[in-house]
């Protein structure tokens, strides 16, 4: 057996007595909407300012990194020049410790190789 139940409740729309309450509710909703729009605009402005500040800091960090890279390159070149000078000085010391005849022969060999 199948039973069908039909709800026949009739919902009545607002009456004249409900109008002041509905008008007040509408005003509250408009006020809330205005406040929400203002809050959204404020958040949007804050986000834009934060993004702008981040971009400035990022640019500064990139510039600082480039300066550090250049400084490191200069220091590396100075270190290479110092290493070369140390090697030359070590060679000169070894040459200086040789007997005079051997020293002159070594100098002749180096000059011949350089020519």
**Residue labelled with tokens 């022969």:** 105
Query: What is the rounded (10 degree) CA torsion for 74, 75, 81, 86?
Result: 170
Q: Which residue has the higher pLDDT, 65 or 105?
A: 65
pLDDT digits (tens, 9 = 90+) for 25-79: 999 999 999 999 999 999 999 999 999 999 999 999 999 999 999 999 999 999 9
Query: Does the predicted TM-score (pTM) go above 0.75?
Result: no
Angle (CA) 108 109 112, round 5° = 85
Instruction: Report yes or no on 48 lying in a domain.
Output: yes
Instruction: Report yes or no on 3 lying in a domain.
Output: no
The answer to whether 14 and 22 have CB atoms below 8 angstroms apart is yes
CB within 8 A of 106, min separation 6: which ones?
A: 95, 98
The span from the CA of 13 to the CA of 24, in Å, is: 17
Instruction: Report yes or no on 2 lying in a domain.
Output: no
Instruction: Report yes or no on 10 lying in a domain.
Output: no
Q: What is the pLDDT of residue 1?
A: 64
The range of the structural domain enclosing residue 83 comes to 20-114
The span from the CA of 42 to the CA of 55, in Å, is: 20
Instruction: Report yes or no on 30 lying in a domain.
Output: yes
Q: How many domains does the chain have?
A: 1
Instruction: Report yes or no on 12 lying in a domain.
Output: no
| Torsion 93-96-101-104 (CA) sign | positive
């Amino acid at each position: 057996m199948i039973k069908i139940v039909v709800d026949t409740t009739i919902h009545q729309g607002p009456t004249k007595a409900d109008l002041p309450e509905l008008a007040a509710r509408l005003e509250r909703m408009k006020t809330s909407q205005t406040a929400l729009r203002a809050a959204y605009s404020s958040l949007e402005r804050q986000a834009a300012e934060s993004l702008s500040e981040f971009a400035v800091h990022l640019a500064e960090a990139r510039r600082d990194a480039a300066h550090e890279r250049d400084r490191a390159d200069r220091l590396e070149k100075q270190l290479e020049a110092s290493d070369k000078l140390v090697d030359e000085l070590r060679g000169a010391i070894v040459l200086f410790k040789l007997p005079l005849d051997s020293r002159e022969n070594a100098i002749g060999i180096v000059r011949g190789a350089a020519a």
